Chain A
């Protein structure tokens, strides 16, 4: 499985934007970039995903580098409820046994200060 690299932790202040980086230099053409987050004592929660183009949804934006070797999850205005572990994951849609599989790394622990 292609691997991702994320900072262990990041901090932000409430109501400020947060940019969470992810490096995935070995990404293949069929790999989608997924972001999940896990709040304390809860299961992971889907945030956003993309392939080549930048993506926006109600939770966040995903900016994908032109060479696809890195991406950034953007939370436009952090709230205390956004404090969580954020996982950047590559998931292939190429078929076969790895189809749709999520391989979680250690993620980035986001702390949001009031």
Chain B
């Protein structure tokens, strides 16, 4: 089944403890992106990647890092999480071209930083 898989689904952590949220897609998509969703603010793009080793900042990149060493994986790294990074995170991927190039989103990771 074509899908974007995020892990973990739920995570509670403490301020300052480094964490990684993994994202993997099995559709050979070039494009991958991370979003966070907060009440009243909607979905905002954190980082995106147009292909392997090509990443760039989205609208709210502060406090986050990403890497794209392989086409299928796009992990989101929080080096020193803070409570304001408590949010619902979504990873998404899409092909660069094609008739149907809508994004496929993962099921989300709910992160709580205490």
Contacts and interface: CB of A to CB of B under 8 A. Distances in A.
On whether the two chains bind one another, the answer is yes
A104 B105 contact: no
Contacts of B90: 43-44
Interface in A13-51: 34, 36, 42-49
Contact of B56 (A45, A46, A97, A106): A97
16 contacts: A42-B108, A43-B105, A43-B106, A46-B100, A46-B103, A46-B104, A49-B102, A100-B31, A101-B33, A101-B48, A102-B45, A103-B45, A104-B35, A104-B43, A106-B42, A107-B42
A103 B103 CA distance: 12
Interface of A: 34, 36, 42-49, 97, 99-107
Nearest to B97: A93
Nearest to B58: A101
B56 to A, nearest CB: 6
Contacts of A42: 107-108
A105 B33 CA distance: 17
Name the prevailing secondary structure of the A interface residues.
Answer: loop
A46 B107 contact: no
A47 B35 CA distance: 18
Given A42-B108, A43-B107, A43-B108, A101 B102 contact: no
Given A100-B31, A104-B42, A106-B42, A44 B103 contact: yes
Nearest to B30: A100
Interface in B55-79: 56, 58-59
Contacts of B43: 44, 102, 104
B102 A34 contact: yes
Contacts of B100: 46
B50 interface: yes
Interface string B72-114: 0000000000000000001010101000111111111000000
